Structure 1
Amino acid sequence: MESFFLFSEKLRLIAAVSLCLLILCFIPGDASCLDLTDKNVLIIGNFCTEKSGENLPAGWETLLFKKIEKHTLYSRVRDNGCFVIKAEANASASALIRKTSINLNKYPIVNWRWKVSNILEKGDIHSKSGDDYPARVYITFEYDPAKLSLWERSKYELARLVYGQYPPYAAINYIWGSHAPKGTLSPNPYTNRTMMYVVESGDEKLNRWIEEERDVYKDYKKAFGTEPPMVSGVAIMTDTDNTGEKATAFFGDIIFKDKGK
């Protein structure tokens, strides 16, 4: 009889621990998975269902930069019950990109999760030497010749001949800034065709899963003053090549949805 009670106590203990773990998996800010069951959302990064390992998630490819020798390391890891992308930068830069076509009139809202382990001491959104971020979600827009002058169109044609495709017409970077205040909107120090939105900043939320939601349609109009063209790609990036520092970040699922979702 005593052994029966001991067995029952063990069962209760296991049940209690299992319940605690189940509750922890659904604590807001700690979960790394989005709800991907809605058929009306556009799934861009379905990382949670991917398996761990070094292979890239389906539909994504590495984006390298010609003048940067060291590349950020991206891998799939398990975190809090979900598979996510881990980015590790050490005086390096590269990105993971998914080429896609998205109509912002239909899917204006982007939703994603990320977690950052550290900020950059020398990070500065306004200078080339500080143009590094522990995490960014990079959205590019299709080349639209109707929006450019003859001289600008000729430059795009030259780029197409050299690289085999047109470069993006414009880009929005949603960044985790190191020192710039949350809500800052600023052109990239290298080009005013890329606008930087600081959606998180500083170390207050480090090592926590944070869910973000942005109206890309409105952000584009505010940044560039015109109707947005089609989205041509979505990238995730952790870079420290300018500051020479180290950074680690994690990226969860990424979706686009309409305003009613």
Structure 2
Amino acid sequence: MARYRLHSLYQRMGLIGAPGTVTAQGMPSPLSVLLRFVASRLRRGKSVAPNDFSTRVMRLAAELEIDVPEPMTLVGGELRWHSTGVQCQAGDRVMLLACGRLYLSRALDVGLGPNSALWYRFGEGKVQKALSEATILTADCDGELQLIAVAPGDFATTTGDIDEVAQPPLPLTGTMAVIPVPALADAELLARARQSAPELFADVAEAQPLPEGWKDLWRMGQGRIFSTNGCGEISCRICGDVGIVQYPIDLPLDDALTLNWAWMAESLPSDLPENIQATHDYLSIAVEFDNGLDLTYMWSTELAEGTIFQCPLPWWDQRETHWVLRNDHEKLGHWLQERRSLLADYRRAIGGEPPERVVAVWLIANSVFQRGEGRCRYRDIGFDNADGHHPVWTVAQGAAESAS
């Protein structure tokens, strides 16, 4: 009873989510982790966005003699799409410039930048996420460019609808200044702009193809977190962003099914235990089952190996269970081979009636809360069962096509 009351208290404080079916053992108190987190943020220097962003963009536009729309201000918590007046046809490209941050806590400097909270769509097309403060967008259909500033996971549909009752959005404050500039998608004009205002274009980003067969989880948006390195590996690098990529699988969940992979974590995005919302920055590989649940095997900076706990984040607390597989910092930078019996792990970590099938493998990286850097590499991902080996592609699309 006392444990239940503490869990309810921590939920009301916004530290953790709903309890899982298996009680977590040996974890630090969520309150103690919170106090350590607060202490670390109070020592942190505050990042201040330039307040003359719009002025500099307008000055640059005048110098290059190009037209730009009026600057837009997107406000945290304003859950509506904004028209830009920029009409596009499928295939058109637009430079989207942005500055600012939306905060979960301004005092503790917990906030989301454009690469995690600025979203766009063309007409009635699919919602997509900006990649940096200077992102080149490509229209996926005809229509007007529209913008919104919300947290990853706040959308209820792939076209950007928000259901505030079924899925309450995260409470965000703060603003982002945003200016779409179609002309700057031109390579020659962009080169001139970079010479004139290099601070605006220090990190120009454009979506790149994922390895063959992989796709972004639309709720988290596209990103630049995962890429291939030409050696049959998927590389992950994250800093102040969140991303999940998925590879579809259709295999029966039985005693013979194992997930096998090798990974080399080089740095972890959190210096604190990852069991509360404010510190839930981590790297992992996961399997999704046909009942909508997923089990994710993670590296932890402090939580003991073998620790199992429910995701502390809203919405995810109903779906995701974490299993700490590695925490030895001396093994960072070394390749580690893993093999997991999925049905046995499901029974131990989640319990209840097991699902019938495994439907996907995921790679997950999160660093939105503390904005630390995480780096990891994956290779030799695959499944084994009574029918043999079922490999998962970890090579670039072009390489996969040429190999076939």
Distance in 2 separating the partners of 1:202 and 1:240? 20
1:132 — aligned with what? 281
Distance in 2 separating the partners of 1:139 and 1:65? 17
Give the alignment of 1:62-77 within 5 angstroms: 62-65=216-219, 71-77=223-229
Match of 1:197 among 312, 315, 323: 323
Distance in 2 separating the partners of 1:62 and 1:124? 27
Match of 2:251 among 81, 102, 105: 102
Write out per-residue CA displacement over residues 31-65 of structure 1, whole angstroms, 9 at most, x where no aligned residue: xxxxxxxxxxxxxxxxxxxxxxx532221112243
1:25 — aligned with what? none
Taking structure 2 as the reference length, what is the TM-score of the superposition? 0.41
1:186 — aligned with what? 309
Distance in 1 separating the partners of 2:235 and 2:270? 21
1:111 — aligned with what? 260
For structure 1, the 5+ residue unaligned runs are 1-53, 144-167
1:89 — aligned with what? 238
Distance in 1 separating the partners of 2:330 and 2:348? 28
Distance in 2 separating the partners of 1:102 and 1:123? 36
- CA contact under 8 A between 2:246 and 2:362: conserved in structure 1? yes
How much identity, in percent, do the aligned residues show? 23
Match of 2:332 among 206, 223, 230: 206
- Give the counterpart letter for 1:187 in structure 2: Q
- SS of match in other structure, 2:362: strand
- CA contact under 8 A between 1:119 and 1:203: conserved in structure 2? no
Distance in 1 separating the partners of 2:360 and 2:387? 23
* Greater RCO, 1 or 2 (C-alpha within 8 Å, sep 6+): 1
Cα offset, 1:119, TM superposition: 2.0
2:296 — aligned with what? 173
Aligned residues: 177
1:57 — aligned with what? 211
The reply on whether 1:220 has 2:343 as its aligned counterpart is: no
For structure 2, the 5+ residue unaligned runs are 1-207, 389-404
Distance in 2 separating the partners of 1:177 and 1:197? 10
Cα offset, 1:238, TM superposition: 2.0
| CA gap 1:251/1:228 in 2 versus in 1, 3 angstroms | same
Cα offset, 1:106, TM superposition: 6.3
Write out per-residue CA displacement over residues 133-155 of structure 1, whole angstroms, 9 at most, x where no aligned residue: 1x211111113xxxxxxxxxxxx
Give the alignment of 1:12-91 within 5 angstroms: 55-65=209-219, 71-78=223-230, 82-91=231-240
Write out per-residue CA displacement over residues 139-198 of structure 1, whole angstroms, 9 at most, x where no aligned residue: 11113xxxxxxxxxxxxxxxxxxxxxxxx2x11010011110111111111205311111
2:379 — aligned with what? 252
Taking structure 1 as the reference length, what is the TM-score of the superposition? 0.62
